[in-house]
């Protein structure tokens, strides 16, 4: 299936952005931002014609970006019998996913995102962040316009309202002239080297701050040695109870769930011993529970049929494993049998635990020691992270001084000069939210302000 896509329009799409941080994410010799809620037809045609030339002139030294709440791209399927064009609308990110171009539009068609395309149709792209970006930069009332920010943005930006169709060619010449002035300046290279180095150091500082915060939080929430040992006691008691009832699988599961559990080979050995003694554990535990039921629930001497049932329990599960006379059926005899069964059960539990596992005291001591060792290691890591942070901060201060000593060309000054010669009006607008505009930028708002102060101190 053939799909016609206006490639010049897709060249504009490659420069569409949704937030300031997408523009200021890397240091540059200046920033050109074409902004509008929706570009008029003449401006759209002008953009399609000049964006590639402007991008080539700017190269990697000057950042070029386009902000538009909506932007249309001519697309269509030749010979499509659709009576009405679909005019599909998708978010910009869906087209820029994988790189905007013919392939991106084909993927959207194949996914059914564009509906029924007609010949000579249009794809409308939505960029939700445009209005917010305009307010942040303080140019919301000037749209559509060209916003120009210098390599080291100050508190103001230069703004040229987009002229009518007759003045757009003049604007293109003005912009190209200003860009040539900046890119040919001998001070630009030194500035970019220093700015990229400072940006890398800023990343080191942020990474070190994050690590210090993480380690500090870990220390603050870390259990003390005694608190670390308490779960061992609870888990060990749970394992003992599971073993005493013959629940051998739950016994090993509880052991594995202990914080700082014993070695796996010991747990498996304990499980094997428990399995070998499981039948006797079940008999002693269940028989003791049954006798306790009769002791609590019935008066003595017991009436029938309870007395016969009680005797059957004794004959089958108690007397074959005891020596001496059975004694009378009285509460005292029943209590002694229960005590004997529980003692036998406890002895088996102790044998299994003692054969395969360290004593509880050893497990508790190990947990305490491991917790102390972990805390000491985290403290050492925190000291190292703090040292790395201080080193990075000192390097940042030195590089701020180096950057302040450079003399980068001013794109806004070059633009004003070229616009003045061409008779175009250039406005100055205070940035609406300096911190919001440069949060997420390669150089943070604080760093930009410190560089500006350092430059003023040198002057």
Q: How does pLDDT run along the chain (459 residues), one tens digit per residue?
A: 577 777 888 888 888 888 888 889 899 999 999 999 888 888 988 998 888 888 888 888 999 999 998 888 887 777 666 655 556 677 776 666 655 555 667 667 666 666 666 667 777 788 778 889 999 999 999 999 999 999 998 889 999 999 888 889 999 999 999 999 999 999 999 999 999 999 999 999 999 999 999 999 999 988 887 777 777 788 888 888 998 988 888 888 887 877 667 778 888 888 888 899 899 899 999 999 999 999 989 888 888 898 899 888 988 888 877 654 455 578 888 888 899 999 999 999 988 888 767 787 887 888 888 888 989 999 999 999 999 999 999 999 999 999 999 999 999 999 999 999 999 999 999 999 999 888 888 999 999 999 999 988 886
Task: Give the three-class secondary structure for 27.
Answer: coil
Q: Give pLDDT, residue 141.
A: 92
Question: Could you give the dihedral angle defined by the CA atoms of residues 414, 420, 422 and 427, in that order, rounded to the nearest 10 degrees?
Answer: 90
Q: Give pLDDT, residue 96.
A: 64
Q: Give pLDDT, residue 212.
A: 97
Residue among 75, 77, 50 nearest 171 (CA): 50
- The rounded distance, in Å, linking the Cα atoms of 456 and 140 is 30
- The rounded distance, in Å, linking the Cα atoms of 90 and 124 is 6
- The whole-model pTM stands at 0.69
Q: Give pLDDT, residue 324.
A: 47
Q: Give pLDDT, residue 178.
A: 95
- The rounded distance, in Å, linking the Cα atoms of 357 and 285 is 22
* Residue 280 host element (H or E): helix 278-297
């Amino acid at each position: 299936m053939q799909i016609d896509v206006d490639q010049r329009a897709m060249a504009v799409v490659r420069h569409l952005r949704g937030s300031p941080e997408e523009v200021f994410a890397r240091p540059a010799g200046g920033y050109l931002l074409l902004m509008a809620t929706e570009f008029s037809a003449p401006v759209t045609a002008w953009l399609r014609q000049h964006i590639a030339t402007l991008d080539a002139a700017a190269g990697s030294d000057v950042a070029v970006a386009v902000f538009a709440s909506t932007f249309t791209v001519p697309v269509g399927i030749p010979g499509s019998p659709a009576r009405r064009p679909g005019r599909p609308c998708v978010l910009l990110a869906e087209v820029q996913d994988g790189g905007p171009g013919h392939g991106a539009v084909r993927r959207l068609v194949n996914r059914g995102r564009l509906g029924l395309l007609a010949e000579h149709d249009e794809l409308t792209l939505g960029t939700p962040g445009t209005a917010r970006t305009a307010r942040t930069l303080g140019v919301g009332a000037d749209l559509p316009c060209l916003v120009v920010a210098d390599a080291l943005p100050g508190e103001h930006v230069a703004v040229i309202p987009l002229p009518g169709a007759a003045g757009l060619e003049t604007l293109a010449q003005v912009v190209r002239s200003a860009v040539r002035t900046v890119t040919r300046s001998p001070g630009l290279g030194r500035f970019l080297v220093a700015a990229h180095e400072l940006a890398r150091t800023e990343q080191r500082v942020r990474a070190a701050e994050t690590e210090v915060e993480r380690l500090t939080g870990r220390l603050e929430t870390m259990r003390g040695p005694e608190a670390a040992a308490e779960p061992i006691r609870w888990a060990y008691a749970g394992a003992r109870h599971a073993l005493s009832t013959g629940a051998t699988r739950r016994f090993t599961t509880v052991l594995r769930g202990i914080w700082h559990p014993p070695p796996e080979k010991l747990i498996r050995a304990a499980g094997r011993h428990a399995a070998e003694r499981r039948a006797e554990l079940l008999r002693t535990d269940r028989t003791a529970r049954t006798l306790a039921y009769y002791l609590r629930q019935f008066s003595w001497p017991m009436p029938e049929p309870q007395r016969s049932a009680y005797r059957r329990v004794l004959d089958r599960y108690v007397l074959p494993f005891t020596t001496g006379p059975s004694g009378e059926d009285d509460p005292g005899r029943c209590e002694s049998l229960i005590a004997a069964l529980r003692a036998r059960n406890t002895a088996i539990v102790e044998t299994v635990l003692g054969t395969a596992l360290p004593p509880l005291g050893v497990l508790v001591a190990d947990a305490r020691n491991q917790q102390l060792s972990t805390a000491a290691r985290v403290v050492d890591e925190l000291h190292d992270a703090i040292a790395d942070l201080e080193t990075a901060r000192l390097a940042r201060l030195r590089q701020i001084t180096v950057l302040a000593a450079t003399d980068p060309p001013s794109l806004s000054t070059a633009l004003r000069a070229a616009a003045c010669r061409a008779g175009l009006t250039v406005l100055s607008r205070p940035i609406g939210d300096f911190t919001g505009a440069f949060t997420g930028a390669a150089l943070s708002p604080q760093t930009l302000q410190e560089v500006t102060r350092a430059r003023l101190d040198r002057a």
